[in-house]
Amino acid sequence: MTTSTAPVLVAGVDTSTQSCKVRVTDAATGRLVRFGQAKHPEGTSVNPEAWWQAFLEAAEQAGGLADVEAIAVGGQQHGMVLLDEHGSVIRDALLWNDTRSAPQAAALIRSLGEAPAEGDEPAGDDENAIEARGKQRWVKAVGSSPVASYTLTKVAWVAENEPENAERIAAICLPHDWLSWRIAGYGPVADGEDAHLDALFTDRSDASGTSYFDAAANEYRTDLLDMVLGRHDVVLPKVLAPAEAAAVKADPAIAGGDVEDGCLIAPGGGDNAMASFGLSMSVGDVSVSLGTSGVAAAIAENPVYDLTGAISGFADCTGHFLPLACTINGSRILDAGRHALGVDYDELAELAFASEPGAGGITLIPYFDGERTPNRPDDTARLEGLTLGNTTRENLARAFVEGLLCSQRDCIELVRALGARIDRILLIGGGAKSAAVRRLAPAVFGMDVTLPATDEYVAIGAARQAAWILAVRDDASAQPPAWEISIEGRESADPTPEVYEAYARRRG
């Protein structure tokens, strides 16, 4: 007679911009056991309480978390959550896509750039030299130069525009930090009670997107907070090691109520790092994610410093680094092509396949919404090389697909130029479902492309991290579990370097 042993379960949470997803997972195999999802409100400024309610709803949809032994939260990066001394949220969180702090980002760059040049820094007192010095100094300090997405710029905006709120700040955290803290049972308290702000915790990957954490030295730069707040007596979440469990466990009413020793809480992480972890990426891997935006992210063994500020020098979830380049324009480039030609995705692909590499000499520069990589916020899209002879539906369709892929090739080349090894490219995201993108990507990228199955990789990465801290609890030298990743296929093609060369020449 045989006896069955119930699997050890962990939960991975993805608190993204659009929704909260909860994935209950077999810790040994990575197999999906249960799943729940709930929407977040739209907008770039959101009350964090909506995230909490969405988490509770998603957890309930997933059958509850009473039998879960560890949990981790992956979340949208950069969002600013401000807490007062009672643990209450001071104002709606400003999310990564809230750009009101662009002037503050520019001012922060200028502030560091005003001092005279040293060594090989750009010399001069003109605005271009000051900006270039400022960017270099920020990159050397925290890995990235400030843009409106980053947390510190949002704190600066509050300090300038809502000084009464700035005075109340007792703690600053990120969306995933705040949700993890709530899962531990903490939240707003009455006068005279301890809000346990010191129980806040985070990880290197998410902290590296704040502009006040140096991932290479693994330390906060509180002097940079001084620049915007005039003080640094605020609580910042403790930065846990990659496989270090939080000092507190989940509230049994929320998770682990049926588990004898309770539910451990893992460090969690930023969404891009969690997705990379969910894909089991390692040094030499690059993911190209085609969603609303495009993101090329590489796993690097050492810190990567792009002194132009084009590459974000983030950390990953394993102790390595995650240099990342982001384009504003992603899969919507294909949508623009479909709308212009009056076709669906399959028909767009058929038209593109009927053309030749280079689209008969037509190049699309796809900066429909301006662009971040390269930094051309006021630019617009344009078609170049049109003649009476080559202006066909087939060539136009091909130009839209090649324009999207060349834009991502720009990101790949930026990462490569900084010394990151690129042995494998993984193509993910909604845009990766396009047959045209799949077939043409290896030709434009100049190397084979691996196609992981469409899945919730942020939630998978969070679940994998939760399983890892369970393993480390029993064996301090344990490595992340080796879960199988479903690969739909690999695409190969003869390289077409002339396509990217024409694009780079016309892009300027």
Residue 2 has pLDDT above 80, yes or no: no
Q: What secondary structure does DSSP assign to 334-370, as a single string?
A: HHHHHHHHT--HHHHHHHHHTS-TTGGG-EEE--BTB
What are the pLDDT digits (tens) for 406-436? 999 999 999 999 888 999 999 998 899 999 9
**CA-based angle 463:466:467, to the nearest 5?**
90
Can you tell me the mean pLDDT for 477-504? Answer: 96
- 365 close to 344: Cβ distance less than 8 angstroms: no
Q: Determine whether 261 is an active site residue.
A: no
Distance CA 357, CA 402 (A): 9
The 10s digit of each residue's pLDDT in 317-330 is 999 999 999 898 99
In terms of C-beta density within 10 A (0-12 exposed, 13-18 middle, 19 or more buried), how is residue 294 classed?
A: buried
Q: Which of 271, 285, 316, 410 is catalytic?
A: 271
In the predicted structure, residue 293 carries a pLDDT above the cut 90 = no
pLDDT for residue 4: 52
Q: What is the mean pLDDT of the chain?
A: 95
**Residue 114: pLDDT band by 50, 70, 90 thresholds?**
very high
E strand or H helix at 468, and its extent?
helix 457-474
Q: How many CB atoms lie within 10 A of CB 49?
A: 13
The pLDDT assigned to 429 comes to 87
The pLDDT value given to residue 154: 97
Q: Looking at the predicted structure, is the pLDDT value of residue 153 above 80?
A: yes
Extract the tokens encoding 385. 């090389």
For the residues 249-260, what does the mean pLDDT come to? 98
**Which pLDDT band holds residue 376 (cuts at 50, 70, 90)?**
confident
Cβ–Cβ < 8 Å for 371, 377: yes
What's the token pair of residue 431?
């845009």
Whole-structure pTM value: 0.91
What average pLDDT does this structure show over 495-504?
98
Q: How far apart are CA 34 and CA 16, in angstroms?
A: 19
Distance (Å) of CA 19 to CA 54, 57, 208, 233, 392: 7, 11, 23, 33, 41
Residue 470 confidence (pLDDT): 98
In which band, very low, low, confident or very high, does the pLDDT at 278 lie, cut at 50, 70 and 90? very high
**What pLDDT shows up at residue 1?**
37
Sign of CA dihedral 161, 17, 272, 23: positive
Mean pLDDT of 125-152: 95
**Pairing of β 487-491 and β 449-452:** antiparallel
Per-residue pLDDT tens digits for 59-98: 999 999 999 999 999 999 999 999 999 999 999 999 988 8
Provide the pLDDT confidence category of residue 490 given band limits of 50, 70 and 90: very high
